[in-house]
Structure 1
């Protein structure tokens, strides 16, 4: 990796059952960013335990996300792939940020309200402090850019607030230690174009989700070619032919979703898809979409299954990535300790 490239940090929770929505919504962008940025990709297992996880499943899911990264084209040699809990700086810096961030900031986070629900008093303290740990994830590497979806924009804004407040609160100490006017960068969101929002194959008004009880609602990255083709065949549609213009997809959520999936997999636009398939019935469109999905996703699933059969190899990737991540993050944390006034062990 070169010194002059901007640095990207992003993380994925090991929540199990990675699906087409995860792939098109995030991982495809992660792969593309390797060409222009230094990339640090993290399996954020510490975030995962803000709600209870089965320990045996968590270990498997950490390896599954790692396998998905590698199978999709992320290069763990040129860039860094690791799991969060192997680099203790994340927890250390998060505590400092817990003391910088304000409770009022955390209480305003809409994702906490959504996840805690009505029983907010019974939510874990970790769930409330989740954005502080996310700020530590990013700023431990002084990342300049973070690819964000709609659900994480508020958290990135909080990261920027925490960085600014730390820089302001400790401005004299930062300058006295030779760090200039600011210790942490004000990280920028990385907008890679319109977000690819993949909806359920059974209900075009709901986001594709691993928690949906029907496996036919999603295409899992580990599905084989037959399963992918069958799920596309069984995907819910309406009775009308595909329109010739994108405006004709309005009010037709299932049609809009399938056309969007085709466009995303083909690297084209919805209008270009309709230029080819407009006026045709779904009985013609679905086989073409199924063939495309199998050609794009089949090799990824096959490679994921191969990697998952060798957990030692995955663990070696994570360990090597953690060592490289630690080498970047530890000096940053040492600087934080100096600025805050801690006495470091020599």
Structure 2
């Protein structure tokens, strides 16, 4: 392996991010949601010893507000802000007031998804008791569709013939055809930036939790590893790590066959790539959100891609150590393992490092990568 497999930007460490809004509003809103509590920060001392660093923790998002992924943090705040704006409600309104206002104007929610974001939007539709239309790419599994549909009778799921980007276009077009339709999407495009920005704000709650959980142990993160799909979570990670006087290293990870950010960073140019199927479904995106790209090109310290096999092995390790992680979540561990073998310094793995891996989803069914399946068959 060569250093060319890692994108590294030494200038990112000194870059500073300034928030445009008060993210404490999102955190206060999340505390009003039924069942809100911090997700666990799980130590992995054996892994830290193997890597030769001070500590490794996993932020386990396998059960966030009753859903198997972190997405509800962004979807809930994005939906709240969009409906509040649509119905002219103050930002300290209750969920009951929001639901009443949405009913009054016949709000309908729309979204495109590879799985977890769509289910989170569907959950918000259930909470507000309004109709939801979710669009998915041709890579969607029937199981994923059924889980979204399970959120309520008002949920409709449509699989399009094209890619995730095609599903986004379809969701946007349909939302414009319906009076008081609202697109709740986590990636921006021309003319659609406000809701994605609110969704990024929603994810800040996760990062504040990490900071406080480490403070209780007398620690501070030196590196945070985040999976990248369209980039909303990664945007929130960079914002947190490069603001308020913090200089936390940001390592991003993507599937080898859907690495839009990695290719963009290496070319220092924003463009769309072709992707193919991956067990990391939620990361199968060909275009980085344009509101996030300027933040990434300045604030991402390092970027790495991983194979299906590397991801599968990381899932097995986390599950064996009590972390209920799916492919998108385990990508962070795979990135650190790979980075340690290529260039520990570039990936933020110094001897005194405190590394936080964001495990963004719980365990789910996925096809075992062929080479792993073949190995299993050959075992006596």
TM-score, scaled to structure 1: 0.26
TM-score, scaled to structure 2: 0.24
Specify the structure having the higher radius of gyration (Cα). 1
Would you tell me which structure has more helix in proportion to its own residues? 1
